Every structure is written in structure tokens, then in C-alpha cells.
Amino acid sequence: MTDTFTIAIDGPAAAGKGTISKAIAAQFGFAHLDTGLLYRAVGARVLAGVEPIEAAITLQAEDLDRDDLRTAEVAQAASKVAVIAEVRAALVDFQRAFARRAGGAVLDGRDIGTVICPNAEVKLYVTASAEVRAKRRFLELTGKGEVTSLETVLADVMARDDRDMNRAEAPMKPAADALTIDTSELSIEQALQVALKEISAQRMP
Ligand code: CDP
Ligand code: CDP
């Protein structure tokens, strides 16, 4: 028998989705897909001059390995291409196939619980205040040598939140049956414990 088990983790930038997803995947031996990387890879190709829909349709696995995908510039480009319905449509099949892979999968993004995997066994919406998230992202970016200010990072995070929440296609929002975890005042370990408790509540005996 082929065992599938899908954990959908959505939420805004720097809420802790990726950190929690990786820890859960490691704990259960599940595969993990950071779906933001797909949009970042499309955004990076658009910055290099490719037309957005073309960039999404012709996206290759190796595009996800580029080491410039984590910059603030690519993040903004990602959220701009992410409003285009045809760009999103081109990325659906890959994400759904990943979610159904044998052995279980964790996907994190903005629309996993609502659009990509509405039947996921576990849905989490991980969030935190914009100020806390901006501080976290600022520390990450400056740690990697990117020159920026906390004010700039906060403005970028808020612009992206606004674009992601208010787009017509697959807007960022918690699924009706998602558990929301606000990590503003939680350590990574504390947030992970809340997530693990929810997973064990939903897992088949
Ligand atoms: O994937 P997402 O953009 O939601 O966030 P992340 O990459 O998991 O986390 C962003 C940063 O916040 C990382 O440096 C985490 O270590 C940090 N973080 C934290 O300090 N406390 C938390 N409860 C969660 C994440
Ligand atoms: O790491 P961070 O949370 O800052 O961003 P990300 O997850 O890499 O996503 C970058 C951008 O891609 C987001 O701001 C969204 O506009 C878009 N995205 C999306 O629309 N749907 C997803 N499932 C994942 C990302």
C-alpha cells in the first residue's frame, strides 16, 4: 500500500513556516517542499528578462538551486509574479504530485491548505506580528551580508503581506480547518511542540 500523508503549512514571510516544516519533515521522515522557492525562482528569471508566464511554464528543477533566491529583491519579484493566475496554474501539478508522494510530505507556502491541498490531513497557519517577522528577516539578511535596514525590511514584509492577502487568485489566508499558531512570543521549540501536538491529534492510530 502507498502511504500518503500531507501536512500543509501556510503563513506570511518569516513567521517560522520553513523552520517548523523542516523539523517536522525530519521527525517523521517526510519530504519537504518550500513552495515559496518556486515563486522565487520564477521571480529571479523575470528579473533576468524572461516573461513571467514563460518563466513559470519552463521552470526547471535546477532553477530552484540558484543561490540568489533568498534576496529581498527576489522576494519582491516573487510576490509580483505570484498574483498572475497563469503563473500559479503552471505550478499546481508539481506541488500536488509532491504532496501525494509515498511516505508523506510537508509543503509550506501561502495557499497550500486552501488551494493546493484542500484535503491535507494537517493544516497549520503559522503567523507572527509584522514587527517580529521583520526583525527575524533583518537578522537573516544582514547575517548573509545583505546591506539593509530594519525599516526597509519591515516595509518590504508589509508590502508583500498586502499583495499576498489581497490578490484575487489564491490569496494568503488560513484554511477554515487550519490551526493558527502565532509565533510572535514563541521560541522555535515552543512553536514546534504546538505543531507536533496537532499532528498527533490528526494522525491515524
Ligand atoms: O519560512 P518562513 O519565512 O515563514 O520563516 P523561517 O525561515 O522559518 O524563519 C525566519 C527566521 O525566524 C529564521 O531565522 C528563524 O530561525 C527565526 N524564527 C524565530 O526566531 N522564532 C520562531 N519561533 C520562528 C522562526
Ligand atoms: O520565505 P518567505 O516566507 O519570505 O517567502 P516565500 O515563502 O519564499 O515566498 C515568496 C513569495 O512567493 C510570497 O511573498 C508569495 O507572494 C509567493 N508565494 C505564493 O504566492 N504562494 C505560495 N504557496 C508560496 C509563495
CATH number of the domain to which 120 belongs: 3.40.50.300
Q: pLDDT for 150-170, tens place per residue?
A: 999 999 999 999 999 999 999
As a whole number of angstroms, the distance between CA 6 and CA 177 comes to: 14
From the CA of 49, how far away is ligand 1's center (Å)? Answer: 31
88-116 mean pLDDT: 98
Decide if 197 is inside a domain: no
What confidence score (pLDDT) does residue 2 get? 64
Query: Do the Cβ atoms of 25 and 106 come closer than 8 Å?
Result: yes
Decide if 1 is inside a domain: no
Q: How many domains, in total, are found in the chain?
A: 1
- Give the pLDDT band of residue 204 (cuts 50, 70, 90): low
From the CA of 1, how far away is ligand 2's center (Å)? Answer: 34
Give the binding-site residues of ligand 2, using a 6 Å CB cut-off: 13-14, 35-36, 39-40, 75, 78-79, 82, 109-111, 160, 164
As a whole number of angstroms, the distance between CA 122 and CA 112 comes to: 11
Question: What is the domain extent for residue 32?
Answer: 6-191
Decide if 205 is inside a domain: no
Q: pLDDT for 29-87, tens place per residue?
A: 999 999 999 999 999 999 999 999 999 999 999 999 999 999 999 999 999 999 999 99
Q: Nearest to residue 152, comparing CAs of 74, 82, 69, 73?
A: 73
88-103 mean pLDDT: 97
As a whole number of angstroms, the distance between CA 87 and CA 46 comes to: 12
CB-facing half-sphere around the CA of 13: CA atoms within 13 A: 31
What confidence score (pLDDT) does residue 1 get? 44
Decide if 11 is inside a domain: yes
Assigned C-alpha cell, 29: 521522515
